[in-house]
Amino acid sequence: MRAYQKVTDEELIEIVNKYIEDHPNVGRNHIIMHASGRTHRVRKLAKEGKINLPKPMPAGSKSNWAKHFKFAKTV
């Protein structure tokens, strides 16, 4: 297990850009989850325009994320 270390915004931007470069076809949530910082910081940097994340997939688009959950039908 890695020891906790603080990551500056500049380092986080560099980590995310390197991950996107290494994995060009990966989705937005995958990038956010595998960044070395808190998810809200990555989203904040993307909102500020410092990181270019892919656009979110539309709901119900059979994204890879939905396969991990089983939703019950409600009638």
**pLDDT band, residue 1 (cuts 50/70/90):** very low
Q: Whole-angstrom Cα distance, residue 62 to residue 14?
A: 30
* 44 and 33 Cβ atoms separated by less than 8 Å: no
- Provide the whole-model pTM: 0.65
| Joined tokens for residue 69 | 């959950």
Domain boundaries, the chain: 9-57
Three-class DSSP category at 33: helix
> For residue range 9-66, what is the model confidence (pLDDT) as tens digits?
898 899 899 999 998 888 888 888 888 778 888 889 999 999 998 887 776 656 565 5
**pLDDT band, residue 75 (cuts 50/70/90):** low
Q: Whole-angstrom Cα distance, residue 20 to residue 44?
A: 17
